[in-house]
Structure 1
């Protein structure tokens, strides 16, 4: 059967494949508070497409404050039978030997009918990349994601036969790396269902199906050649997708869904998460989720900036938070001194070997 659809490789993005300077800095949150918190970081400029307001959290540098939080119900997303349908009208980019959809094109598409949550239109209207409880930043890829991917290679992290969770996945690149590393199962979670349907799932499919089956032609009748610098041959196939599950919703809700489901569930050997600790108000939810879902001998790999200006979170405050609860032991396994200092943290249960 001949599959033809509007699918393109963005050749202009190939020059950015080996650099991270073009990537935005990421801020995410799992919950919503009564106060609307805009992204504000120490970067060369504002996040593209946003108009951040300067702000401060008087309590953020000391201890997580207690605010009323709301919850987004958990939902599992089925993998479509027609995998190629998932890639329709997607423009692809590439970095770190991974394919991922062009977020700007997805945003334009979602302004029509694809965005049932309305997150894109509300983001555009409010000129913000974060609307607590509505849109939690999953339409962008943030630089600490690539820090963590680099670390996997440097530290020779092995995913073979491991059970892996990409928490706050967004584009899902961390989980896809684990999938290509022959993980036994990979689960993806993001706050927004639109992100899972329009970004995470297409990315997983694009990195699993045979490149030749979707690069050869597009709906405009033209042949679109693969990038001159081809990625390494994928080590997973469409069959690998059967080991994947995709979830949207707030962390605690997804945890409850997993633990109470009739489907067999075993805790994760490895949990991966990037820039999910920008807001101290969410530390409790993140800590509890990790404690519930991580295997007793498992490891968490967390990437973060030193400090998130305007909201008060950061690696050192989260490290202090974890230490005070005496459940996990933590260690800083990598420091990146480019621009605002960034960190990779490893976490494990205190009573693990």
Structure 2
């Protein structure tokens, strides 16, 4: 009899043991809270160190994480510092919210750019799964693609 592993998102769907037979650790959860955008948030966003990268006719602005970690901007917020300090964006129970970009994103955009006449044309349907900061989907949009962004 052949067994198959199945990907699961929900805690209730997970087995009580890992694939190697060890007991899985419990994930600490926090209560959800609403964050209402206020004028202060716009003022703070002007203080975040930002870089810019050009992809032919497109420009991508991104947060310079290393500089952000050294700045006073995050001082005292251990939740955000923990996300940025981690070498993984797969921290149980934590959504990192697009702070990190997949290492190969710029390589994939360059590949798409060099093959743009074949890969993405007007009305090409694109599903950007696990989009994070959405760079690949934004690139597809800039080329006329019809993009659905989906993330956790």
* TM-score of the two chains, using structure 2 as the length reference: 0.50
TM-score, normalised to structure 1, is 0.25
After superposition, where does 1:12-161 map in structure 2 within 5 Å?
31=9, 88-90=46-48, 91-97=50-56, 98-104=59-65, 111=74, 119-123=79-83, 127-130=86-89, 131-136=91-96, 138-155=98-115, 156-161=118-123
Pick from 129, 133, 148: which aligns with 1:167?
129
Q: How far, CA to CA, are the matches of 2:26 and 2:111 in structure 1?
A: 33
SS at match of 1:121: helix
Alpha-carbon spacing, 1:163–1:122, altered in 2? closer, same or farther (3 Å): same
Structure 2: gaps (5+ residues): 1-7, 30-36
Give the structure 1 partner of residue 34 of structure 2.
none
| 2:51–2:61 CA contact under 8 A, matched in 1 | yes
For structure 1, the 5+ residue unaligned runs are: 1-29, 35-56, 60-66, 73-79, 191-249, 251-353
The structure that is strand-richer by fraction is 1
* Secondary structure, counterpart of 1:94 in structure 2: strand
Please identify runs of 4+ aligned residues in structure 1 that moved more than 6 A. Answer: 67-70
SS of the residue aligned with 2:119?
A: coil
Cα root mean square deviation, aligned: 4.3
Paired with 1:109 and 1:172, the residues of 2 have a C-alpha distance of 27
Shift of 1:163: 3.6
